[in-house]
Amino acid sequence: MSRVGKIARRTFLIGSAAIAGGVAFGVYAARQPFDNPNLDDLPEGAASFNPWVIVDSEKVTLIAPHADKGQGIFSAQAALIAEELDIELDQVEVSFGMPDKAYYNRALTEAMAGFPLHDTSPTAERVRGFVGGVVKLAMPMMTTGGSTGVPDSYDKLRQAGATARETLKLAASRQSGVPVAELRTEAGAVILPDGTALPYTALAGLAATLPPVTDVPLRDPKEWRLVGKPMNRLDMVAKSTGTLTYGIDHRAEGMLHAAIKVNPRQGGALKGYDASAAQAMPGVKKIVEITGGVAVVADNTWRAFQAAEAIAFDWGEAPYPAEQAEHWAHLSGIFDDDHLNAEARVEGDVEAAEGEEVRGEYRSPYLAHAPLEPLNATVLVTDDRVDIWAGHQIQMFAEQVVSEITGVDQENVHLHNMFIGGSFGHRLEFDFIRQAAEIANQMRGTPVQLTYSREEDFAHDFPRHITMGRGVAKVKGGRVTALDVQIAGQSVMRSQMGRMGLSLPGPDTQLHEGAWDAPYFNLPNLRVRSYRTEALAPVSSWRAVGAGPNVFIYETLLDEAIHAAGADPLEERIRLMGHDVSVKVLEAVGELASWNGPSAGPGRGRGVAYGFSFGVPVATIVEVAATDAGIRIEKAWVVADVGKVIDPVNLENLAQGGTVFGLGHAINCEITYADGMAEQTNYHAHEGMRMYQCPEIRFKALENGAKIRGFGEPPVPPSAPALGNAIFAATGQRIREMPFNKFIDFL
Amino acid sequence: MRLTVNGTEHEVEVEPEMPLLWVLRDELNITGPKYGCGIAQCGACTVHVDGVAVRSCQLAIGDLAGGEVTTIEGLGQPESLHAVQQAWVEHQVAQCGYCQSGQIMQAASLLDFNPAPTDADIDAAMSGNLCRCGTYPRIRAAVKAAAQKLQGA
Amino acid sequence: MMKRTLWAPLALLAATGVWAAGETIEINPPAEGSVSTEEGLAAWGRIYEVASHPRCANCHTGESDRPMWSGPSYGKARPHGMNIRAGESRIGAEHILCSTCHTTKDEDWSNANAVPHAAPRVAAEWQLAPVEADWFGRSSVEICRQLRDPERNGDRDMLELAAHLDHDLILHWAWAPGGGREPAPYSLQEHVNDILTWGVAGMPCPEN
């Protein structure tokens, strides 16, 4: 590995200063594409023009390497390739392919350059390009996360399709003698001027001998057949018939099933155990030790669960405060210079600004990811090869982890990525992969499927970080004149990267994400400071990460200020907003909801909130009715600007789902610790939202943004403050802490 | 122990307290019914026993008492979709899809009992099925569409 | 319109199920005239402790068709999660059958309810108590008057009430709920004895 590689691997690159400070690298090298991994085992007569397209005499295969945990990126990737390849989606086979650095995520580094994502100035773009180049050389990460699946794929996969198409045309030209310029392509075939169709499959052999045609211009979006139009997602029929194979559904000859019990005090030691009763239970094949716990291998998952329950354990203490109250007490004590993460934004002078003061303290609890498919992985270890069947979002790192455990070279460790039954960030973690490998390594030659019980899944989640916010706003003359926001929380990135053996020097931008970059440019006095701790429970990225808690804090404080100023919540936000794309989003949500102020009749209220995350401005209006039995959330209107819409139907689904996710957790959910253990053990205590609480949700997408953006996470942040603001409008009760059901009943 | 699943008879050697879910998934390799919670909180394991929705994680195989089991695979196949599955596809309901086998089995059972459910009926019948992705607005629409389709048929 | 009318025969099943676990209850009423009103009222006091206990009252919600989740193991009292409504059928036939989750346990296996927070199951069809047996949040006087009123207690005399306790296997569950739930106070036999004592005393109810 190069020196740059070593430096960057040890000190993950964040911010332009770190890079500009001491690293030199070749622009040329950064621009070189990685080798096409498909060429390694390509059969005779098959052609692969780039890592995403394979054509043989039988079929056309598209590689869609981003992990699909429900967001629909599998179909989106296929559509982007097929758009330029001129093939229909029912004519191709689509595969996740095998992990390779050729599939590294180009969009992931965009947020690392130290500029807010709404800043698309030449300087910001130049630094982003620089950071991207360094990271590509040092640590090309194949990963799905940070709502980057679409932005990473958008140009790259259309280019892949176009390259393949032009190369196939060249082959057709060679075969037919007709100049390329007279050829066209349609439905998986090159069409000669006389109408003869030469299927791509028939051209594969010849095309394989030609150098791929590159530098093909991309089509004008006006010509698109697939992209931008409502799609039938490729996984929809399978997901509606129970025929889709998730990781948990993988079956192999001779496969055994494993269950684990690991210290429920996260990271605590295994001091002792007695498995004699479990050993004698039906179907139990073997009981093995793993890091921090014990695994039971049996012939059936349920039998493994039963036997794991029958083991008596002596667990060590938690390496963090045992009781929840201590966690909050700790956070309330870190608003000081010693814990300063960053003074992330300063405009004007919040202290000198004049006006009536509005103060608030806000809390956002720990939250479990709890995707419906429990964590699972199937691993087969032999002496010279390991196969893993599991859904994971950082595929090659998972392979590396397994390589380290088994001693098998990473190039012989193969992760077969599977469809994922929800993640919300949990499939960025490695515990379940590590444990499955530890078990299978002690059962060499036998495929072993580890399935977490739901209780184990809750106990060993790395939840969303708890956050405490303190804010002071000033209002004068019917306007908001100043916001001073302080946010204290655990560093998610340090916690998460620490488990990957990576360190994060400098501030964790997630601690002020969604607050420092909220483009209320017309607010004359603004300060955003964040404070960092790592002394609490281990935490992980939870859908929208920092923006979730931070937008709740920021937009609730802002709403309180607007109320004190006597202004209209939507109009004042529009006035303060200095970012045109966001202004249009706010205006559009007002139109969609026919906004006429926060009052919506007796006992009814409307609240609005704006959130900027992952480059996407989203505005949400929620309407509630206060009834004798509690608050009923009746309607929500959501408008977002994603730059360019790939599939309007799927986008609407994500908007609705993200809003449900945000609202449900805001009203119903928290993880609390007692005796070092999460008190919530299953969905009865942490359900998110169920249908009866789900409002009608209307959505509109705008396309004014300068860049295409991903939408898996951005709908989440504004939903909670929009709801809290609506409850205030309906009842006069201001709720500053989630979950709201601690303070008010919901139907 | 004998049981009939999707019209096929099977013989399994398991203890009577093993939940039907695990007999289906791990003994018979019928993986459409999903494990989500194990305590009737999520509904992902929903199957029909004698035509009625049951959480298969809560039904011990010894308590099946000769009941005929239908799983999502028995409701309809990709080439022969049940009206409810068809509505699910038309409304592009699924995100991660992991809950949808259970949602569809519950919806099919609801429509069998109540062919023209109101919104309140749907919210009452379907709230035992958890969807962590939040596809509820589309599920509601799909249930209504399926009801119309079935009534028109 | 309902396509099926399954719930009536299903509801009947509840009264005819077999208690496979085999808890034997003896129904031996005290001799007529051997129990004073005072002793009868004391017995009633214990009966009320049982009737108002969450294990019983949660499914005696009167006009409401929503069972409750209350008691120490549930935290704050609230309607049964998941928007559960038992409907007029009291077995959920209009929406989702209680038995979809509360499956019927036919076999004699002892740990049916061992898993915390799982849906309890018994060797009978799970259901909500009849509307007349409205106990949740009701006072001692209200429940007492209901229980002794043949119009509102299923036309049962004291012996029939005791026999009902013996036969209706959902009721047995209240004393062996499993899964970390608090059982109803006393024992089933003691409760039956109290019913009989109270009955022999002439079913006295407190004044207020």
Residues in C closer than 8 angstroms to A685, CB to CB, are 117
Contact C82 A681 (CB under 8 A): no
Residues in A closer than 8 angstroms to B89, CB to CB, are 232, 236-237, 240
- Residue range A168-182: average pLDDT? 97
Which residues 81-140 of C have a C-beta within 8 angstroms of A? 81-83, 116-117
Which of these, A669, A731, A88, lies nearest to A364 by C-alpha position?
A669
Domain span including residue B146: 83-152
The predicted pLDDT at position A136 comes to 84
Q: Is the pLDDT reported for residue A6 higher than 80?
A: no
With cut-offs at 50, 70 and 90, classify the pLDDT of residue C109: low
Q: Is A244 on the interface with B (CB under 8 A)?
A: yes
Of B59, B115, B121, nearest to C103 by CB-CB distance is B59
Contact B135 A244 (CB under 8 A): no
Contact A687 C117 (CB under 8 A): no
Shortest CA gap C114–chain A (Å): 11
Which of A108-117, A433-442, B20-29, C129-138 has the weakest average pLDDT?
A108-117
Percent of chain A whose pLDDT exceeds 70: 96
Token pair 């949808």: residue: B100
The predicted pLDDT at position B153 comes to 64
Could you tell me which residues come within 8 angstroms of residue C20 by beta carbon, excluding any fewer than 6 positions away? C105, C106, C107, C108, C123
Residue spans per domain, chain A: 33-105+141-232, 247-318+375-451, 324-367+462-742
Residues in B closer than 8 angstroms to C103, CB to CB, are 54-55, 58-60, 63
* Terminal-to-terminal C-alpha distance of chain A: 59
Q: Is the pLDDT reported for residue A93 higher than 90?
A: yes
Q: Is the pLDDT reported for residue C6 higher than 60?
A: no
Contact B25 A232 (CB under 8 A): no
Residues in A closer than 8 angstroms to C73, CB to CB, are none
Shortest CA gap C181–chain A (Å): 14
Q: Is A71 on the interface with B (CB under 8 A)?
A: yes
Mean pLDDT of chain A: 94
Of C3, C96, C118, nearest to B124 by CB-CB distance is C96
What pLDDT digit, counting tens, does each position of A613-644 carry? 999 999 999 999 999 999 999 999 999 999 99
When divided into structural domains, chain B yields a total of 2
With cut-offs at 50, 70 and 90, classify the pLDDT of residue C112: confident
Contact A690 B127 (CB under 8 A): yes
Residues in C closer than 8 angstroms to A745, CB to CB, are 78
Residue pair A586/A547 in contact (Cβ under 8 Å)? The answer is no
Shortest CA gap C76–chain A (Å): 10
The neighbour count for residue A355, using CB atoms within 10 Å, is: 18
- Rounded Cα gap, residues A476 and A525, in angstroms: 12
Cis peptide preceding A505, ω within 30 of 0: no
| Whole-Å CA distances, B123 to A724, B82, C67, C82, C83 | 24, 21, 16, 9, 8
Query: Which residues, listed in sequence order, are joined to residue B69 by a DSSP beta bridge?
Result: B5, B49
SS3 per residue for A538-565: CCCCCCCCCHHHHHHHHHHHHHHHHHHH
- Rounded Cα gap, residues C184 and C164, in angstroms: 17
- Phi, psi for A362 (deg, rounded to 5): -130, 150
Residues in B closer than 8 angstroms to C100, CB to CB, are 46, 52-55, 106, 109, 128
Q: Is the pLDDT reported for residue A22 higher than 80?
A: no
Q: Is the pLDDT reported for residue A707 higher than 90?
A: yes
> Which domain-ending residue is among B13, B41, B75?
B75
Q: Is the pLDDT reported for residue A15 higher than 70?
A: no
What pLDDT digit, counting tens, does each position of A152-164 carry? 999 999 999 999 9
What pLDDT digit, counting tens, does each position of A119-131 carry? 999 999 998 988 8
Contact B95 A241 (CB under 8 A): no
The more confidently predicted of residues A137 and B150 is: B150
- Rounded Cα gap, residues A620 and A611, in angstroms: 8
Shortest CA gap A687–chain B (Å): 8
Residue pair A97/A103 in contact (Cβ under 8 Å)? The answer is yes
| Whole-Å CA distances, A186 to A194, A197, A234, A419 | 14, 9, 20, 30
Strand A256-262 relative to strand A448-451: parallel, antiparallel, unpaired? parallel
Asked if residue B143 and residue B122 are part of one domain, the reply reads yes
Is domain A247-318+375-451 given the CATH code 1.20.1420.20 in the classification? Answer: no
Contact C82 A682 (CB under 8 A): no
Chain B residue nearest residue C114, CA to CA: B39
Contact A684 C83 (CB under 8 A): no
- Residue range A308-321: average pLDDT? 97
Residue pair C123/C170 in contact (Cβ under 8 Å)? The answer is no
Q: Which of A197-219 are b and which e, b meaning 16 or more Cβ less than 10 Å from the residue's Cβ?
A: ebbbbbbbbbbbeeebbeebeeb
Contact B58 C103 (CB under 8 A): yes
- Rounded Cα gap, residues A241 and A249, in angstroms: 14
- A interface test, pick of B22, B136, B138, B140 with most A CB neighbours within 10 Å: B136
- C interface test, pick of A453, A670, A684 with most C CB neighbours within 10 Å: A684
What does the DSSP assignment read for C89-118?
TTS-TTSS-GGGTS----S--TTTT-STTS
How many CB pairs (< 8 A) connect A and C? 14
Asked if residue B91 and residue B43 are part of one domain, the reply reads no
How many CB pairs (< 8 A) connect A and B? 194
Contact C119 B17 (CB under 8 A): no
- Residue range C107-119: average pLDDT? 82
Shortest CA gap A715–chain C (Å): 25
What pLDDT digit, counting tens, does each position of A522-566 carry? 999 999 999 999 999 999 999 999 999 999 999 999 999 999 999
Query: Which residues, listed in sequence order, are joined to residue B46 by a DSSP beta bridge?
Result: B55
Output Rg (C-alpha) for chain B, integer angstroms: 15
What pLDDT digit, counting tens, does each position of A572-582 carry? 999 999 999 99
The predicted pLDDT at position A550 comes to 98
Asked if residue B87 and residue B71 are part of one domain, the reply reads no
Contact B92 A232 (CB under 8 A): yes
Asked if residue B141 and residue B89 are part of one domain, the reply reads yes
Cβ-based burial of A58 (10 A; exposed 0-12, middle 13-18, buried ≥19):
exposed
Residues in C closer than 8 angstroms to B52, CB to CB, are 6, 97, 99-100
- C interface test, pick of B42, B113, B121, B150 with most C CB neighbours within 10 Å: B113
What pLDDT digit, counting tens, does each position of A341-373 carry? 999 999 999 999 999 999 999 999 999 999 999
The CATH number of the domain holding residue B40 is 3.10.20.30
The more confidently predicted of residues A439 and A141 is: A439
Asked if residue B96 and residue B70 are part of one domain, the reply reads no
The predicted pLDDT at position C107 comes to 59
What pLDDT digit, counting tens, does each position of C171-199 carry? 889 999 999 999 999 999 999 999 999 99
Of C95, C97, C101, nearest to B58 by CB-CB distance is C101
Q: Is the pLDDT reported for residue A721 higher than 70?
A: yes
- Spell out the alpha helix ranges (H) of A566-611: 569-576, 580-592
Of A454, A653, A658, nearest to B36 by CB-CB distance is A454
SS3 per residue for A144-212: CCCCCHHHHHHHHHHHHHHHHHHHHHHHHHHHHCCCHHHCEEECCEEECCCCCEEEHHHHHHHHCCCCC
The predicted pLDDT at position A132 comes to 86
Contact A240 B104 (CB under 8 A): yes
Could you tell me which residues come within 8 angstroms of residue A245 by beta carbon, excluding any fewer than 6 positions away? A418, A419, B31
Q: Is the pLDDT reported for residue A672 higher than 70?
A: yes
Q: Is the pLDDT reported for residue A705 higher than 50?
A: yes
What pLDDT digit, counting tens, does each position of B45-65 carry? 999 999 999 999 999 999 998
Contact C82 A690 (CB under 8 A): yes
- Residue range C143-159: average pLDDT? 93
Chain C residue nearest residue B19, CA to CA: C112
- Rounded Cα gap, residues B49 and B54, in angstroms: 6
How many CB pairs (< 8 A) connect B and C? 94
Which DSSP helix (H) or strand (E) runs through A240? helix A236-240
The predicted pLDDT at position A13 comes to 41
Residue spans per domain, chain C: 28-200
What does the DSSP assignment read for A683-719?
GGG-----GGGPPEEEEEEE--SSS----SSTTSTTH
Note the CATH number of domain A33-105+141-232: 3.30.365.10
Residues in B closer than 8 angstroms to A237, CB to CB, are 78, 81, 89
Handedness of CA B136, B142, B144, B147 (dihedral sign): negative
- Rounded Cα gap, residues A311 and A305, in angstroms: 10
Note the CATH number of domain A324-367+462-742: 3.30.365.10
Neighbouring chains to B with at least 3 Cβ pairs closer than 8 Å:
A, C
Q: Is the pLDDT reported for residue B116 higher than 50?
A: yes
Strand A616-627 relative to strand A677-678: parallel, antiparallel, unpaired? unpaired
- Residue range B66-85: average pLDDT? 97
What pLDDT digit, counting tens, does each position of B131-142 carry? 999 999 999 999
With cut-offs at 50, 70 and 90, classify the pLDDT of residue A29: low
The predicted pLDDT at position C170 comes to 87
The predicted pLDDT at position A113 comes to 84
The predicted pLDDT at position A701 comes to 98
Which residues 22-51 of C have a C-beta within 8 angstroms of A? none
Strand B68-70 relative to strand B46-49: parallel, antiparallel, unpaired? antiparallel
What pLDDT digit, counting tens, does each position of A581-607 carry? 999 999 999 999 999 999 999 999 999
The predicted pLDDT at position A8 comes to 39
Asked if residue B136 and residue B88 are part of one domain, the reply reads yes
Of B26, B42, B75, nearest to A300 by CB-CB distance is B26
Which residues 295-334 of A have a C-beta within 8 angstroms of B? 299-303, 305
Q: Is the pLDDT reported for residue B110 higher than 90?
A: yes
Q: Is B107 on the interface with A (CB under 8 A)?
A: no
Token pair 């005796």: residue: A675
Q: Is the pLDDT reported for residue C3 higher than 60?
A: no
The predicted pLDDT at position C72 comes to 86
Contact C117 A681 (CB under 8 A): yes
Percent of chain A whose pLDDT exceeds 90: 90
Contact C117 A690 (CB under 8 A): no
Percent of chain C whose pLDDT exceeds 70: 87
Q: What strand order describes the sheet that includes A47-50?
A: A47-50, A53-55, A60-63, A92-95
Output the CA angle A233-A235-A240, nearest 5 degrees: 105
The CATH number of the domain holding residue B119 is 1.10.150.120
> Which domain-ending residue is among B23, B52, B75?
B75
Of B22, B77, B140, nearest to A301 by CB-CB distance is B22
Q: Is the pLDDT reported for residue A1 higher than 70?
A: no
Is ipTM beyond 0.85? yes
Q: Is the pLDDT reported for residue A95 higher than 60?
A: yes
SS3 per residue for A118-153: CCCCHHHHHHHHHHHHHHHHHCCCCCCCCCCHHHHH
Q: Can you point out the beta strands (E) in A600-707?
A: 604-613, 616-627, 630-641, 673-674, 677-678, 696-702
What pLDDT digit, counting tens, does each position of A209-244 carry? 999 998 899 999 999 999 999 999 999 999 999 999
- Residue range C71-84: average pLDDT? 90
| Whole-Å CA distances, A453 to A368, A434, B105, C184 | 15, 17, 23, 30
